[in-house]
Amino acid sequence: MRTPRTPRTATTAVLAVTALALALGGCSGSGGRSSEDSGSGSPGGGQGVTTPRLKIAMVTHSGEGDTFWDIVQSGAKQAAAKDNVDFLYSANKEGQQQAQLIQAAIDQKVDGLVVTLAKPEAVRDVVEKAVAAGIPVVTINSGADSSKALGALGHIGQDEGVAGRAVGDELTKEGRKKALCVIHEQGNVSLEQRCAGVKETFKGSVENLNVDGTNTPASASSIEARLQSSPDIDTVVTLGAPMAAAAVQAKGDAKSSAEIDTFDLNAAVVKQFKAHQIGFAVDQQPYLQGYLAVDELWLNKTNGDVIGGGRPVLTGPAIVTGKDVPTLEKYTARGTR
């Protein structure tokens, strides 16, 4: 995997994640040897702890039928099994409904809360309410800029600006001239930051296209229409693995020669690599986001720990290509990448 350069703070955070993973893997009190040794299909397993049972809720802005969030949940559930945690999950793409789900978790008197901040203003009040009630909060995936202000212990995820700039650098290196950046959820600050990052470093031009991510056929039609009206577009950048399939279809229908690149990774993207339908993908390791979020809340409740000293802990970005398929196939098959 080709990993783009990141600022010193990002490197420090990644090292912190690595150190934590090594510490947890080698400490029998937090789970013993990895499940690779014990024979299970997921990393980070082993025997469970003997600490009191905790209840931790995760409330995200997306999740229904989304392979990305399936992987996040897989990591969270693995950590929950290890940490003797009752794990509760809910999701809603609408900010107001997500806030209501967070309130429901507060009402259940959970011991910890994991939330995404795709639309931070919509959930600000209720997240602050959870913190005021003494419920430790960890934010993941989106809203790193708002996490500390809301009182969260920390943020675990990818710096979207860094990721976008990495894509811009990659496109420039490939000699691309005009990119279409497809935003599949309007108002999602993380997606907007990705496209902005691409624009920041790409030496060519970037045009944003808003589509309805809940309607794949309509999204494909919108991308196809744009490719037909602007045949000089030589790259389509999608911001989620499911949208990559829509872009591949649109490219074929438009008879375009544009390269399809995408943020995020799943088993379908790996197959598209093998079929030479996608150039590269940006992996932010969603399994790690779910796993570390639950683990951080458990560590905080049982040992007063705060991963990364409260600073964002980065799980990406890493640029992956068809050359990485042999390794990725094994992990995507078990739902951990």
Find the mean pLDDT for residues 232-254: 96
DSSP character for 4?
P
- pLDDT tens digits, 260-306: 999 999 999 999 999 999 999 999 999 999 999 999 999 999 999 99
Residues 218 and 303 in one domain: no
Residues 278 and 288 in one domain: no
Helix ranges (H only) for 3-83 are 8-26, 35-38, 67-83
Q: Is the pLDDT of residue 238 over 60?
A: yes
Do 169 and 274 lie in one domain? The reply is yes
Is the domain of 249 the same as that of 299? Answer: no
Position 302 in a domain: yes
Mean pLDDT (whole number) for 73-78: 96
Confidence tier at 18 by pLDDT (50, 70, 90): very low
On whether residue 188 sits in a domain, the answer given is: yes
The answer as to whether 324 is a domain residue is: no
Model confidence at 63, pLDDT cuts 50, 70, 90, reads confident
257 with 145, same domain: the answer is no
Kindly report, residue by residue over 145-180, the tens digit of the pLDDT: 999 999 999 999 999 999 999 999 999 999 999 999
Position 62 confidence tier, pLDDT thresholds 50, 70, 90 = confident
Each residue's pLDDT tens digit, 269-279: 999 999 999 99
Residue 135 has pLDDT above 70, yes or no: yes
Confidence band, pLDDT 50/70/90 cuts, at residue 8: very low
Q: Range of 297's domain?
A: 8-32+53-158+284-316
Could you tell me if residue 40 is inside a domain?
no
Task: Grade residue 48 by pLDDT with cuts at 50, 70 and 90.
Answer: confident
| Interior/surface letters 22-51, b for 16+ CB within 10 angstroms, e for the rest | eebbeeeebbbebbeeeeeebbbbbeebee
Confidence of residue 214 (pLDDT cuts 50, 70, 90): confident
Pick from 259, 283, 307: which residue ends a domain? 283
Do 81 and 187 lie in a common domain? Answer: no
My answer on whether 288 and 277 are in the same domain is no
Judge whether residue 35 has pLDDT over 90: no
Residue 105 sits in a domain of what CATH number? 3.40.50.2300
Query: Could you tell me how many residues make up the chain?
Result: 337
The total domain count for the chain is 2
Who contacts 26 (Cβ-Cβ below 8 Å, separation ≥6)? none
Distance in angstroms (rounded) separating the CA atoms of residues 325 and 265: 11
Q: How far is the C-alpha of 126 from the C-alpha of 236, rounded, in Å?
A: 37
Residues 279 and 178 in one domain: yes
Inside any domain, residue 44? no
Residue 264 lies in a domain: yes
